[in-house]
Structure 1
Amino acid sequence: MTAPPPSRPAPHRAAVLTGVGGCLPPTAVSNDELAARLDSSDAWIRSRTGIRQRYFASPGTATSDLAVGAGARALKSSGTPDVDAVLLATTTPDRPCPATAPAVAARLGLTGTAAFDVSAVCTGFVYALATAAGLIATCAADRVLVIGAETFSTLLDPDDRSTSVIFGDGAGAVVLRAGDAEEPGALGPFDLGSDGGREDLITVAAGGSRQRLSGVAPKSADRYFAMAGKDVFRHAVQRMSASARAVLARAGWEPGDVDHLVGHQANLRITNHVADEVGIPRARCFSNIADVGNTAAASIPLALDQAHADGVLRAGGRVLLTAFGGGLTWGSTVLTWPELDRP
Structure 2
Amino acid sequence: MMNFILRGFGSYAPERILTNADLEKIVDTTDEWITTRTGIKERHIAADGETTSSMAFESSKKALADAGIEPAELTHIICGTFTPDSMIPSAACRLQEKLGIKGQMCVDVQAACSGFLYALQSGRGYLCLEPESKVLVVSSETLSRRMNWEDRATCVLFGDASGAAVLTGGEITDGPRVLDVMLAADGSLGDLLTVNGGGSAYSYALGDTVGPEYFVEFQGREVFKHAVRNMTSISEAILKRNGFEKSDVDVLITHQANMRIIDAVGRRFNIPEERVFVNIEKYGNTSAASVPVALDEAVKTGFIKKGDLVLTPTFGGGFTWGAALIQF
Same fold, TM exceeding 0.5?
A: yes
Residue 161 in 1 paired to residue 152 in 2? yes
Give the aligned partner of residue 80 of structure 1: 69
Q: Tell me by how many angstroms 1:37 deviates.
A: 2.3
Residue 120 in 1 paired to residue 120 in 2? no
Secondary structure of 1:189's counterpart equals: strand
Give the one of 136, 139, 142 matched to 1:151.
Answer: 142
Q: Tell me by how many angstroms 1:211 deviates.
A: 1.4
Secondary structure of 2:271's counterpart equals: coil
Residue 250 in 1 paired to residue 236 in 2? no
Q: CA RMSD in A?
A: 1.7
Residue 69 in 1 paired to residue 61 in 2? no
Residue 106 in 1 paired to residue 97 in 2? yes
Give TM-score, length-normalised by structure 1. Answer: 0.91
Q: Tell me by how many angstroms 1:141 deviates.
A: 5.0
Alignment of 1:137-286 (within 5 A): 137-139=128-130, 142-180=133-171, 184-212=175-203, 220-286=211-277
Give TM-score, length-normalised by structure 2. Answer: 0.95
Could you tell me how far apart the structure 1 residues matched to 2:145 and 2:278 are?
Answer: 24
Residue 130 in 1 paired to residue 124 in 2? no
How many pairs are equivalent?
324
Could you tell me how far apart the structure 1 residues matched to 2:94 and 2:146 are?
Answer: 22
CA shift digits 1:313-339 (9 cap, x unpaired): 1111110011000000001110112xx
- Equivalent residues of 1:206, 1:218 under 8 A apart: no
Q: Which runs of 5+ in 2 are unaligned?
A: none
Secondary structure of 2:221's counterpart equals: helix
Quick check: 254-263 or 132-141, which moved more? 132-141
Give the one of 285, 289, 294 matched to 2:280.
Answer: 289
Q: Tell me by how many angstroms 1:38 deviates.
A: 1.5
Give the one of 27, 30, 54 matched to 2:16.
Answer: 27
Q: Tell me by how many angstroms 1:24 deviates.
A: 0.7
What percent identity do the matched residue pairs reach? Answer: 37
Residue 322 in 1 paired to residue 305 in 2? no
Secondary structure of 1:187's counterpart equals: strand
CA shift digits 1:191-241 (9 cap, x unpaired): 110000011111012110011299xx7762111110110000000000100
Could you tell me how far apart the structure 2 residues matched to 1:210 and 1:110 are?
Answer: 36
Q: Which runs of 5+ in 1 are unaligned?
A: 1-11, 338-343
CA shift digits 1:114-151 (9 cap, x unpaired): 11101000000000011101111222652111001000
Could you tell me how far apart the structure 2 residues matched to 1:322 and 1:236 are?
Answer: 10
- Equivalent residues of 2:7, 2:175 under 8 A apart: no
Runs of 4+ deviating beyond 4 Å = 180-184
Q: Tell me by how many angstroms 1:182 deviates.
A: 8.4
Secondary structure of 1:97's counterpart equals: coil
Give the aligned partner of residue 9 of structure 1: none
Give the one of 8, 15, 18 matched to 2:4.
Answer: 15
Could you tell me how far apart the structure 1 residues matched to 2:161 and 2:26 are?
Answer: 24
- Equivalent residues of 1:121, 1:297 under 8 A apart: yes
- Equivalent residues of 2:39, 2:281 under 8 A apart: yes
Amino acid at match of 2:117: V
Give the aligned partner of residue 46 of structure 2: 57
- Equivalent residues of 2:179, 2:327 under 8 A apart: no
Q: Tell me by how many angstroms 1:183 deviates.
A: 6.7
- Equivalent residues of 1:204, 1:226 under 8 A apart: yes
Q: Tell me by how many angstroms 1:283 deviates.
A: 2.5
Q: Which has the larger radius of gyration?
A: 1
> Per the alignment, do residues 218 and 282 of structure 1 end up closer, same or farther by CA in structure 2, a change over 3 Å counting?
farther
- Equivalent residues of 2:131, 2:169 under 8 A apart: no
> Per the alignment, do residues 209 and 112 of structure 1 end up closer, same or farther by CA in structure 2, a change over 3 Å counting?
same
CA shift digits 1:232-279 (9 cap, x unpaired): 000000010001111111121111111111111000110110111233
- Equivalent residues of 1:14, 1:136 under 8 A apart: no
Amino acid at match of 1:208: G
- Equivalent residues of 1:14, 1:133 under 8 A apart: no
Could you tell me how far apart the structure 2 residues matched to 1:109 and 1:183 are?
Answer: 27
